[in-house]
Structure 1
Amino acid sequence: MAVGKFDTTATRSSYDVVIIGGAMYGSAVAWFLTDNPDFDGTVLVIERDPTYQNSATAHTNSCIRQQFSNPLNVKISQFGAAFIKGFKGLMGNDPRVPDLSIQSYGYMYLADTDAFADQLRAAQKVQIDAGAATQLMTPAQIKEAYPFYTVDDIVLGSINLIDEGYWDGGTVFDWWRRSARERGVEYITGEVTSMHVVGPRVHSVTLANGDAIACGKVVNATGPRGARTAKMAGIQIPVEPRKRFTWIFSAEQPLGQVLPLTIDPSGVHFRQDGPKTYLAGGHAHPDLAVECDDFAMDHGLWQDKIWPTIATRIPQFEAIKVITEWAGHYDFNTLDQNAILGPHTEIENFFFVNGFSGHGLQQSPAMGRGTAEMLTYGEYRTLDLTPFGFERIAAGRPFAESAII
Structure 2
Amino acid sequence: MDNRHIVIVGGGVIGSAVAYFLAVHPRFQGRITVLERDPTYTHASSALSASSIRQQFSTALNIQMSQFGIAFLRDLHHHLSVDGELPELGLSEHGYLYLATEAGAVTLRENHEIQRAEQVDVALLNQAVLKQKFPWLNVDDLALGSLGLSGEGWFDGYALLMAFRRKARSLGVSYVQADAQDFEHDKGRVTGVRLRDGRVIKCDVAVNAAGAWARPLLAGTGFDLPVVGRKRTVFVVSSPAQTPACPLIIDPTGLWLRPEGQHWICGLPPEDDPDDAPLEADYEQFDTVWQIMANRVPAFEALRMQRAWAGYYEYHVFDQNAVIGAHPQLANLILANGFSGHGMQHAPATGRGIAELVVDGAYSSLDLSPLSAQRVLLNQPLMEKNVI
What TM-score results when the alignment is normalised by the length of structure 1?
0.92
Q: For residue 277 of structure 1, what is the amino acid of its counterpart?
A: H
1:287 corresponds to which of 273, 278, 283: 273
Aligned to 2:249: 262
Q: Given the alignment of the two structures, is residue 26 of structure 1 paired with residue 12 of structure 2, yes or no?
A: no
Q: Given the alignment of the two structures, is residue 123 of structure 1 paired with residue 114 of structure 2, yes or no?
A: no
1:59 corresponds to which of 38, 43, 48: 48
CA shift in 2, pair 1:377/1:57, >3 Å = same
Q: Is the 2:223–2:328 contact (alpha carbons within 8 Å) kept by the matching residues of 1?
A: no
Q: For residues 67-86 of structure 1, what are the structure 2 equivalents within 5 Å?
A: 67-86=56-75
**Which segments of structure 1 move beyond 6 Å, counting only runs of 4 or more?**
none
Q: For residues 352-367 of structure 1, what are the structure 2 equivalents within 5 Å?
A: 352-367=335-350
Aligned to 1:273: 260
Q: For residue 245 of structure 2, what is the amino acid of its counterpart?
A: V
Alpha-carbon offset, residue 136 of structure 1: 0.3
User: C-alpha separation between the residues in 1 aligned to 2:300 and 2:19?
Assistant: 43
Alpha-carbon offset, residue 179 of structure 1: 1.4
Aligned to 2:283: 299
Q: For residue 163 of structure 1, what is the amino acid of its counterpart?
A: G
Aligned to 1:238: 226
User: C-alpha separation between the residues in 2 aligned to 1:90 and 1:156?
Assistant: 39
Aligned to 1:11: none
Alpha-carbon offset, residue 101 of structure 1: 5.9
SS in 2 for 1:25: helix
Q: Is the 2:328–2:374 contact (alpha carbons within 8 Å) kept by the matching residues of 1?
A: yes
CA shift in 2, pair 1:255/1:358, >3 Å = same
Alpha-carbon offset, residue 286 of structure 1: 2.6
User: C-alpha separation between the residues in 1 aligned to 2:193 and 2:333?
Assistant: 11
User: C-alpha separation between the residues in 2 aligned to 1:96 and 1:363?
Assistant: 24
Question: What do residues 113-171 of structure 1 show as CA deviations (whole Å, max 9, x unaligned)?
Answer: 24x11111111111111111110001110010000111111011101120111123222
Aligned to 1:374: 357
Aligned to 1:228: 216
Considering only aligned residues, what root-mean-square deviation do their CA atoms show, in Å? Answer: 1.5
Q: For residues 3-402 of structure 1, what are the structure 2 equivalents within 5 Å?
A: 16-91=5-80, 94-98=83-87, 100=89, 102-114=91-103, 116-251=104-239, 253-274=240-261, 276-291=262-277, 294-303=278-287, 305-402=288-385
Question: What do residues 161-198 of structure 1 show as CA deviations (whole Å, max 9, x unaligned)?
Answer: 20111123222211211111121111111111233221
Q: Is the 2:191–2:202 contact (alpha carbons within 8 Å) kept by the matching residues of 1?
A: yes
User: C-alpha separation between the residues in 2 aligned to 1:90 and 1:228?
Assistant: 34
Q: Is the 1:39–1:376 contact (alpha carbons within 8 Å) kept by the matching residues of 2?
A: yes
Q: For residue 205 of structure 1, what is the amino acid of its counterpart?
A: V
Q: For residue 55 of structure 1, what is the amino acid of its counterpart?
A: A
Q: Is the 1:272–1:278 contact (alpha carbons within 8 Å) kept by the matching residues of 2?
A: yes
Aligned to 1:4: none
User: C-alpha separation between the residues in 1 aligned to 2:214 and 2:371?
Assistant: 15
Question: What do residues 328-368 of structure 1 show as CA deviations (whole Å, max 9, x unaligned)?
Answer: 11110011100000101211111100000001100000011
Aligned to 1:5: none
Alpha-carbon offset, residue 92 of structure 1: 6.0
User: C-alpha separation between the residues in 1 aligned to 2:11 and 2:87?
Assistant: 22
Alpha-carbon offset, residue 104 of structure 1: 1.5
Q: For residue 321 of structure 2, what is the amino acid of its counterpart?
A: N
Q: For residue 234 of structure 1, what is the amino acid of its counterpart?
A: G
Q: For residue 382 of structure 2, what is the amino acid of its counterpart?
A: F
Count residues with an aligned counterpart: 386
User: C-alpha separation between the residues in 2 aligned to 1:101 and 1:302?
Assistant: 27
Question: What do residues 258-307 of structure 1 show as CA deviations (whole Å, max 9, x unaligned)?
Answer: 32111111001111111x2101111210322124xx1122222111x111
Q: For residue 95 of structure 2, what is the amino acid of its counterpart?
A: G
User: C-alpha separation between the residues in 2 aligned to 1:387 and 1:106?
Assistant: 27
Give the percent of matched residue pairs that are identical in Structure 1 and Structure 2.
37
User: C-alpha separation between the residues in 2 aligned to 1:365 and 1:203?
Assistant: 27
Structure 2, gaps ≥5 residues long: none
Q: Is the 2:121–2:151 contact (alpha carbons within 8 Å) kept by the matching residues of 1?
A: no
User: C-alpha separation between the residues in 2 aligned to 1:24 and 1:99?
Assistant: 16
User: C-alpha separation between the residues in 2 aligned to 1:256 and 1:394?
Assistant: 47
Q: Is the 1:85–1:99 contact (alpha carbons within 8 Å) kept by the matching residues of 2?
A: no
Q: Is the 1:32–1:372 contact (alpha carbons within 8 Å) kept by the matching residues of 2?
A: yes
Structure 1, gaps ≥5 residues long: 1-13
What TM-score results when the alignment is normalised by the length of structure 2?
0.96
